[in-house]
Amino acid sequence: MEKFGYICPECGKGTIKETTVINCQTKINNYPFIVPKAIVGVCDSCGAKNFDPQERERWVNLYNSGLEAKRVFLKAEQILHIRKKLGLNMEDFASLIGCTRQSIYNWEKKNRRIAQSRMADVIIKLLDECLNKGKVDVLSFLAQELKHLGVEIKIKPDVVTIVTSEKYETFICSEEEYAQNYMKPQGCLGFSPKLKTVS
Ligand SMILES: [Zn+2]
C-alpha cells in the first residue's frame, strides 16, 4: 500500500515517494538505532524525508525487542517476576516507582504494545539489583546500563561514592569535600555521619 504520494511539504514541487532504505540510521528515544529495512518517504525533487507514524512505531518495537533479546531492556514477564519477588500488587508497585497502575498493567501484559520508558526500566532493574545484592552502586550501575545501549559517558572524575557499613546509605561528594569533612577511613568503611544523604 502506498503510504506517501503527496506533494512535498518542504519544497512544494516534488512528490513524496515511498522508498526502502537499507540500514537506515535513526534515533529511538535519543539512542542510536539502525533499521535494517526502513520504509521512508523521500521527495523526488529536494530529497526531504517524511516518516509514517505506523512505520515509526514498527521501528520502536524492533528496537525494544532487540534490546529485550540482548537482555538490555526488561521483558513483560521479567517486570512481573520482579514485582512478585517484592511481594507487591500493581497499585503498590506503581506507587513505589512513581507511575500509574495502568502503566504497570501495560508493561507486564503478554504481547504488550506499550513498553516501559527507559527511566522506569532502570528503576525496576535497580530494585531487582537491590533484591539480589542488598547494596548497589547506583552510579556505576546506571553507567553500565548505558554502556549496554552503546553509549559511554564520562562521569565527573572527582565524584566518589562511599557506602557506609552501618546504614547502607550512599553518599556522594567531591574529593575536596571529602578531604575537608572526613577522617581517614579506619579500615575501609564507616565514616563520620556529617554528610548529607543523596537519595
Ligand atoms: Zn521536496
pLDDT digit string, tens, across residues 149-199? 777 887 776 555 544 444 333 444 455 554 554 444 333 333 333 344 444
Of 129, 148, 167, the residue at which a domain comes to its end is 148
Nearby residues of 6 by Cβ (< 8 Å), 6 or more positions away: 15, 16
DSSP classification of residue 99: S
Residue 189 lies in a domain: yes
Question: Is there a domain that residue 47 lies in?
Answer: yes
Confidence band (pLDDT; 50, 70, 90) for 44?
A: very high
Burial of 38 (0-12, 13-18, 19+ CB in 10 A): buried
Q: For position 108, what pLDDT does the model report?
A: 96
pLDDT confidence of residue 122: 94
Q: Look at residue 8 and tell me if it is in a domain.
A: no
How many other C-beta atoms lie within 10 A of the C-beta of residue 108? Answer: 20
- 137 with 182, same domain? no
Position 149 scores a pLDDT of 77
Do the domain assignments include residue 1? no
45 C-alpha to center of ligand 1: Å?
Answer: 5
Q: Given a cut of 90, is residue 148 above it in pLDDT?
A: no
Residues linked to residue 19 through DSSP beta bridges, in sequence order: 40
Count of structural domains, the chain? 3
Q: Is the pLDDT of residue 62 over 80?
A: yes
DSSP run (H or E) holding 83: helix 76-86
Cβ neighbours around 20 below 10 Å, total? 9
Examine the domain organization and report whether 92 and 141 are in the same domain. Answer: yes
Q: Which of 69, 85, 103 is the last residue of a domain?
A: 69
Quick one: pLDDT at residue 134? 87
> How far is 136 from 123, CA to CA, in rounded Å?
12
Of the candidates 35, 69, 103, which is a domain's last residue? 69
Coil, strand or helix at 77: helix
- How confident is the model at residue 157, as a pLDDT? 65
Q: What is the Cα–Cα distance from 150 to 33, expressed in whole angstroms?
A: 10
Quickly tell me which residue has 538490555 as its cell: 72
How many angstroms is it from 7 CA to the middle of ligand 1?
A: 8
The owner of cell 529511538 is: 28
**pLDDT band at residue 1 using 50, 70 and 90 as cut-offs:** low
Question: pLDDT confidence of 90, banded at 50, 70, 90?
Answer: very high
Is residue 3 one of the residues assigned to a domain? no
Rounded distance from Cα 28 to ligand 1 centre (Å): 25
Report the pLDDT value the prediction gives residue 118, as an integer from 0 to 100: 86
Domain containing 178 equals: 156-199
Same domain for 91 and 135? yes
Tell me, in angstroms, the distance from the centre of ligand 1 to residue 32's CA: 26
103 and 62 inside one domain:
no
> 152: left (phi > 0), else alpha (psi -120 to 50), else beta?
beta
DSSP 114: S
Averaged pLDDT of the chain: 79
The pLDDT assigned to 111 comes to 85
CA of 173 from ligand 1 middle (Å) equals 53
- Confidence band for 117, pLDDT divided at 50, 70 and 90: confident
Q: What is the CATH number of the domain that holds 31?
A: 3.10.20
**CB neighbourhood size of 67 (10 A):** 21
* pLDDT of 186: 36
Please report whether residue 30 resides in a domain.
yes
If asked whether residues 89 and 132 sit together in one domain, one would say: yes
pTM over 0.75: no
Query: Do residues 173 and 198 touch, judged by C-beta distance below 8 A?
Result: no
* Cβ atoms within 10 Å, residue 63: 20
Question: What single-letter amino acid sits at 16?
Answer: I
Q: What is the mean pLDDT of residues 84-88?
A: 96
- Is residue 4 situated within a structural domain? no
CATH label of the domain that carries residue 124? 1.10.260
Residue 91 Cα to ligand 1 middle (Å): 50
Residue 50: the pLDDT is: 92
Is residue 2 in some structural domain?
no
Asked if pLDDT for residue 112 goes beyond 70, the answer is yes
